[in-house]
Amino acid sequence: MLNTPNIFSPKKFSTSRPVLKSILVLATASLMTIPQISSATNGMNMEGYGAISTGMGGAAMAYDNGTGAVMSNPATLGLMEDGESKLEVGVGNLRPAITSESPSGKETSSADSFFMPAVGWAQKKGRMSYGVGIFSQGGMGTEYDNGKFMTGNGPNPTAPNAYSGQTVRSEVGVGRLVIPLTYDVTNNFTMGGSVDFVWGGMDIQMDLSGLQFADLVGPSFGGNNQFGTVSGSLINTFGGFVAPGLDPDGGVNWGRVDFSDSSDFTGSAGSTGLAGKLGAVYKFSPTFRLGATYQSKTSLGDMKSSDANVSFSVNANDAAVGTVGAARVIDLKGKVRVKDFQWPEIIGIGVAFEATQKLLLVADYKRLNWSKVMQDFSMVFTADAGQADATSGAQFGGTQMDMTLYQDWKDQNVLLLGAGYKFTEAFTLRGGLNLANNPVPDEYLNPLFPAIVKNHITLGFGYGFTKAHAIDFSLAFAPAVDQTTDYGQVTNAGTGAFGDKIDITHGQTNWQLVYSFTY
At 88, which CATH number?
2.40.160.60
Indicate whether 302 belongs to any domain: yes
Task: Give the whole-angstrom CA distance, residue 261 versus residue 259.
Answer: 7
Amino acid code (one letter) for 135: F
Dist CA 157 CA 254 (whole Å): 8
Provide the residue count of the chain.
Answer: 519
In a domain, 270, yes or no: yes
The total number of structural domains in the chain stands at: 1
C-alpha 393: how far from chain center: 42
In a domain, 7, yes or no: no
81-120: b or e for each residue (b if 16 or more CB lie within 10 Å)? Answer: eeebbbbbbbebebebebbbbbebeebbbebeebebbbbb
CA-to-CA separations, 417 to 185, 352, 364, 385, in angstroms, rounded? 28, 10, 7, 56
Residue 315 forms part of a structural domain: yes
Residue 245 to residues 152, 314, 500, Cα–Cα distance (Å): 18, 12, 19
Query: Among 5-14, 95-104, 343-352, whose mean pLDDT is lowest?
Result: 5-14
> In this predicted structure, what is the pLDDT of residue 8?
28
Structure confidence by residue, pLDDT tens digits, 406-441: 999 999 999 999 999 999 999 999 999 999 999 999
- Give 147's pLDDT tier (boundaries 50, 70, 90): low
What does the DSSP 8-state code read for residue 344?
P
Which 3 state secondary structure label does DSSP give 31?
helix
DSSP H or E segment with residue 20:
helix 17-33
For residues 35, 4, 367 and 33, what is the CA-based torsion angle, rounded to 10 degrees?
Answer: -10
Decide: helix, strand or coil at residue 350.
strand
pTM metric for this prediction: 0.89
Q: Is residue 61 part of a domain?
A: yes
Portion of the chain with pLDDT greater than 90, in percent: 63
pLDDT exceeds 80 at position 154: no
Contact 460, 57 (CB under 8 A): no
Average pLDDT over the chain reads: 85
CB neighbourhood size of 16 (10 A): 10
Q: What is the pLDDT of residues 248-271, one digit of tens each?
A: 445 777 889 999 987 766 789 999
Question: Phi and psi (nearest 5°) for 266?
Answer: -140, 175
Are 314 and 242 in contact by the 8 Å Cβ rule? The answer is yes
pLDDT band for position 140 (cuts 50, 70, 90): confident
Q: For 26, how many CA atoms within 13 A lie in the half-sphere containing its CB?
A: 21
DSSP, residue by residue, 195-251: EEEEEEEEEEEEEEEHHHHHHHH-GGGT---SSEEEESHHHHHHHTTS-STT-TTSS
Q: What stretches of 393-501 adopt beta strand conformation (E)?
A: 400-406, 412-422, 427-436, 456-464, 469-485, 490-492, 496-498
pLDDT, residue 488, reads 63
| Selection from 144-158, 206-220, 347-361 with the highest mean pLDDT | 347-361
pLDDT at 28 over 50: no
Amino acid at 388: A
What pLDDT is recorded for position 478? Answer: 97
301, HSE (Cβ side, Cα atoms, 13 Å) = 9
The bridge status of strand 469-485 relative to strand 114-125 is unpaired
The amino acid present at 409, given as its one-letter code, is: W
11 in any annotated domain: no
For β-strands 105-108 and 85-102, DSSP reports them as antiparallel
Report whether 214 contacts 248 (CB < 8 A).
no
Residue 473, domain member (yes or no): yes
SS3 (DSSP) at 66: helix
Structural domain of 330: 17-518
| Radius of gyration of the chain from its Cα atoms, rounded to whole angstroms | 26
450 in a domain, yes or no?
yes
Give residue-wise pLDDT tens across range 310-355: 998 887 555 444 455 566 788 999 999 999 999 999 999 999 999 9
Pairwise CA distance, residues 253 & 290, whole Å: 58
Mean pLDDT value across residues 155-166: 62
The DSSP 8-state label assigned to residue 179 in this structure reads E
Residues in contact with 157: Cβ distance below 8 Å, sequence separation at least 6, in sequence order: 253, 254, 313, 315, 327, 329
